[in-house]
Structures are given as C-alpha cells and as structure tokens.
Structure 1
Amino acid sequence: MDRIKLNDALDVSRLVYGMWRIGDDADTSTAHVQNKISACLDQGITTMDQADIYGGYEAEEILGNALTPGLRNQIEIVTKCDIVAPAGRYADAKVKYYDTSRAHILASVEHSLRLMKTDHIDLLLIHRPDPLMDHHETGAALDDVIASGKVRSVGVSNFRPYDWDLLQSGMKNKLVTNQIEMSLLCHEPFTNGDLAHLQRLAVPPMAWSPLGGGVLFDSAIAALRTKLAEIGADQGVDVAAVAVAWLLAHPARILPVLGTNNLDRIKQISDADRVTMDRVTWYELYTLALGHEVA
C-alpha cells in the first residue's frame, strides 16, 4: 500500500477506512471492531477516518473501546469537529449549526481524546465551512492544539478554495488536506476549481463517498456499471475497486475514504490499488458518468 506524506509530522495510507457507519453495525463489540481494524492493517490500510458527529456522537467511543495500545500505535486517527446537531451530548441544541469558536474546538478535541482513549489525534479536520467563522480565532485555536501536542496536523472538509484561503490566512501551520465528496457520480471537483486549487498547493485531497453512496451501482446508470464490470472482469476485481481506481489514477494523489461494515468487503478495499487505468479508460468512464462526450 502506497503512503502519502501530508507534512513532516504525518503520512497516511493511500486508502483510508471510513468509520461513519460503524455505529450502524448490528455488532459494535470490541472484538468485531478490532477485526475490522486488523483486516485493514493486513492490507496496509492504517488510516482510520472518524468525526465527532458520526453515529450520533457515539462512533468515536466505539473505536476507542477497541483500541489497545498496540493497535493505536499502528494506525493514524482522523477526526472532525464543528457540527452541532440535536443528538448525543448536544441533544438539547435548538437547531443544527456549525461552531468554529475556540471554545468549541478545544472542547471537541478533549471529547475526542477521551472517547477514543488516546493522547493525540493525528489529523483534525474542520468538518463544514462555518458562515460565522472568525478565521483569526479558528486559526489560532488550530495552531494551539498542534502546539499542545494533542493534534499532530489539521485540515478541513467540504471547504471551497475561498474558504480554505480564508482560514489559512489566519494560521501559522499549513492545512494539510481538504476532504471533499468525489466519485464518478460527483465529478464536479475535477472541473470547478476545487481539485485544481489543491493541486496548485501540492495538497493531497481526501475523497468521501467515493462510490457515490452506493448509487453508483444503481440500474439507472447501467452503461457505467457495465463498463466498470467489464474492466473489473479483465483485471480480476469488482466494480467498486475500478470506481476507486478511477480516483487513484488522478495526479492530485486523491485519498479515497471507504466505509463498510461488511468484513469481507473491508478485506477487498485494497483491490483498487491493483487496477491499471490508462487515460483512455479514465475518459471512457468519465464520459459515461457525464452522460455525453467531453466538449
């Protein structure tokens, strides 16, 4: 498994295991979660993606219950903060909102450390752009959690280039990634400037929902699915592996975040790393995803 260096303090596995659904599994036992992590590690997948809000603010604790010191030392933990929704510890919230205040960021870091039973977070992301963000306050808070040693690196999620530039202007440390939605079905970042912005900065992006939330396999896009299956049959992998390989083929060094609770599927995540995809094949899939040829 290739590794991608985000900065001098952190490198991550090219494929990332997403834990947003870990609380939805019928089995959230320590042993079962450990089996999922072990299945990832067997493939060289060491980076685990979390967020405080996942599972109604319960997913981090599910992971923490499974983390022995030995397992913790083998993985990188990504988590996120700033979404406040009427659930879990914020059940009394009157409305869903974003909070990028210093107080909220510091409190969120402490919650995450406690719930995941760890002394540091490898990568903390601001989960959503906050229209009320004071970039000086937010930036200083992110610099401070790095200085404290409680967070190794920071980045963002779902930010547009102008959101990124605003926050970065209030920081000493460099943002190391932007986790955005990208897939064959969500291909706008390839042309709307989001990916180009990160490429110019030499910042590897993370891609959430790289399989389009499962819609990629819907019969409504039969031609695309047929082509994915054809390529997969030629290379001995399933359609999911080909769809992820489409992202891996891009020079921006995209880091797909893949989440499944099925142990057999977890064991197949790295199949995407075996797929060979040339420019013509990439554009064949892109054309089918667009529904028309490029201009």
Structure 2
Amino acid sequence: MKKLELGNSGLEVSEISLGCMRMDQLSKQDANRVIENALEQGIDMFDHADIYGGGKSEEIFADAINMDSSTREKMVIQSKCGIRDGFFDFSKEHILASVEGSLKRLKTDYLDVLLLHRPDTLVEPEEVAEAFNELKRSGKVRHFGVSNHNPTQVELLKKYVEQDLVANQLQLSMMFTPMIDAGLNVNMEHDPAIVRDGGVLDYSRLHNMTVQPWSPFQHGFFEGVFVDNDKFPILNEKLQEYAEKKGVTKSAIAIAWILRHPARMQPVVGTMNPERLQNIAKASEVNLTKEEWYDLYRVAGNKLP
C-alpha cells in the first residue's frame, strides 16, 4: 500500500483509509478480522466518528483488537465530532466532551486526527480555537481538520485556529463529481458549471489539505452503489473491461480512478467484508492513464464541454 502525507502534518498514512461507520453491526470476532485484514493490506488509517453506531463502532473497534499501547502504535486513528441529535455543535464544551467520549470508547490516550464533522452555522470559531488549543496541549489530539466544509468556512476557522487543518473529508465518486465538474465547465451555461463548493478541490491543493473522499462507490447522496448495479450497465461493462485489463476488481478500478487525481486524495472505504477490502486495496497498485481516467469519467455519465 502506497503512503501519502496527510496535509502538512508530517504524518505518513496509507493512501486508502478504512471507514468504521458500520462496525457496530459486527461481532468482536468479525471486527477483528476486518481490522487485522486491513493492516495486512497496508491500510493503517481508521476513520471514526462519535455518532457512528451511537458510539458503539468505536467501542467494538477497540474491543476487537484488545487495544493496548503496542497495538495502538500500528495504526492512525481519526474521529469526528459536531453532529448531535437534530443539530450541529462546534462549541468548546461539546468538542471537548466528544473527544473524551471517543478516547474512552477507543481505549486510547490520543487521537491522531480530529475532524469537525459538518459545518455548524452557529459556530463561534474562537471557541473552536480554545478547544483545539486545549486538546493539543494535553496531547489528546495531534492533528486537526474538517469534513464537508467549503473554502470560506475553512478560512473562517483558520483566522482563529492556531493548528494547521490537514484534511477535509468530502463526498466524491465516479458518479458524484461536482467538485470536479465545475472546474471542467468554466463559463458554461449548464448545470455542471455551477460551483457548489467554493472551488474546494483547487483550494485544497493550494493549501495542502488532503481531500478524503467518502462514499466512493455511491451514486447520488446515499442512493446506492453503482458497482454491479443493473441501473448502470454501460458503466459496469467499462469497469469490467478495465478490471480485466489491470488484473483487479471493478471496485478497485473505482478507487484507482480517485487515486489517479494529482490532488493525492485519500478515499475512505467502508466495507466490512475482508475479502472485498483486500480486493479494493489493490487499487494502490493500479496505474490509470489520463485517457483512461477521462474515459471512465465520461462513461459514468459526466460530459465534457
């Protein structure tokens, strides 16, 4: 598994991360198999959130591997906070309480990375800065970032926060490409030209923030996966063609398509199937040409001007 630097953190991580949102549905034994298999594939970064399974996903993760200091050193653990029941909350009080809860459930003294999960329109960035400073000084969080934020929201935080924001977790797949579409359709009079995110992809590249694509196999917003979906026969025929050509699975091609982008993104894959994860991990070995990348982009239903 290839590595990349997370933002400007100096932290070297696997270029594919395992998302643990669905781990609450597994037994301790099954969760252990998923985690150990990920490590065997070279995937050393694990993505959590305080709300996943109501906190149960973090608990099962730690219990499954019998978390101790030697085990902890093998992995990079990221968690997220800010989503509450019916509202978003970036208050100092909630950030600190959320981190304490995650540390307890994960049975660790620190998080490698903490992300603010979804933008809180009532955010008081001075409070975020105070929370981050306290977490950094105490050693409870080593690096910080955001999730689902646009560039202006990031800049507002950066005006007050002393720490570098190393990552932004954003939705992206071959069939969900607004952050790419707008940059290809500059000054065009049709929907793909609309800049919906403030140019977050180019902003991230300019400021060395690692984009972490979530739902990399989804079409639309949680509308289902496109791989082996009968609704998309032409796309799946093309994925199969490239899978056979590169000696991997269709899912690996879908991830390789994201990895091919020079922004050096780190897709977050959420499968809890060890065999599927093993196949997906092979995407790190796949090289797509520029022509192949654009071919897949078009076949996925995206048009070039």
Instruction: Please give the TM-score of this superposition, normalised by the length of structure 1.
Output: 0.91
Q: Do residues 18 (structure 1) and 16 (structure 2) align? A: no
Matches within 5 A, 1:99-114: 99-114=89-104
> How far apart are the structure 2 equivalents of 1:167 and 1:64?
31
Matched, 1:215 2:225: yes
2 CA distance for matches of 1:99 and 1:37?
30
Alignment check: 8 A CA contact 2:119 2:148 kept: yes
Aligned to 2:254: 243
**Which secondary structure state, in structure 2, belongs to the residue aligned with residue 267 of structure 1?**
helix
1:168-187 correspondence runs (5 A)? 168-187=158-177
Other-structure match for 1:79: 79
Task: Spell out the pairing of 1:99-178 with structure 2 (5 A cutoff).
Answer: 99-178=89-168
Task: Report the Cα distance in structure 1 between the residues aligned to 2:236 and 2:157, rounded to whole angstroms.
Answer: 39
DSSP 3-state at the match of 2:166: coil
Match of 1:91 in 2: none
What is the deviation of 1:57? 2.4
Q: Distance in 1 between matches of 2:233 and 2:132?
A: 45
After TM superposition, give the deviation of residue 291 of structure 1 in Å: 4.3
Structure 2: unaligned runs, 5 residues or longer: 183-194
Write the letter of the residue equivalent to 1:63: F
Q: Any gaps of 5 or more consecutive residues in structure 1?
A: 86-95
1:55 to 53, 56, 61: 53
Structure 2 counterpart SS, 1:153: strand
Question: C-alpha distance in 1, partners of 2:236/2:101?
Answer: 42
Residue type of the alignment partner of 2:211: P
Q: In the alignment, is residue 282 of structure 1 matched against residue 293 of structure 2?
A: yes
Give how far 1:144 is off.
Answer: 2.1
| 8 Å Cα contact 2:259-2:266 kept in structure 1 | yes
Matched, 1:40 2:38: yes
Please, which of 257, 266, 269 is the counterpart of residue 258 of structure 1? 269
Q: Which amino acid in 2 is paired with 1:168?
A: K
With over 3 angstroms needed to count, the CA separation of the structure-2 counterparts of 1:8 and 1:291, relative to structure 1, is closer
- Choose 4-13 or 231-240, whichever is displaced more: 4-13
Aligned residues: 281
Match of 2:205 among 199, 202, 212: 199
Q: Residues of 2 paired with 1:238 and 1:162: CA distance?
A: 38
AA partner of residue 117 (structure 1): K
Q: CA deviation at 1:163?
A: 1.1
Q: Name the structure 2 match of 1:88.
A: none
Identify if the C-alpha distance between structure 1 residues 234 and 60 changes in structure 2 by more than 3 Å, giving closer, same or farther: same
The Cα offsets for residues 245-275 of structure 1, whole Å up to 9 and x where unpaired, read as: 0000001000000111112112222111121
Deviations, residues 1-27 of structure 1 (Å, cap 9, x unaligned): 2222223452211110110111123xx
- AA of the residue aligned to 1:65: D
* Contact 1:10-1:153 within 8 A present in 2 as well: no
1:140 and 1:170 in contact (8 A); partners too:
no
What is the TM-score when the length of structure 2 is the normalising length?
0.89
Shift of 1:170: 1.1
Verify the 8 A CA contact 1:9 1:152 in the aligned structure 2: no
Give the counterpart letter for 2:84 in structure 1: V
Structure 2 Cα separation of the partners of residues 250 and 138 of structure 1:
32
SS in 2 for 1:115: helix
Amino acid in the other structure paired with 2:75:
I
User: Any idea what SS the aligned residue of 1:276 has?
Assistant: coil
RMSD: 1.4
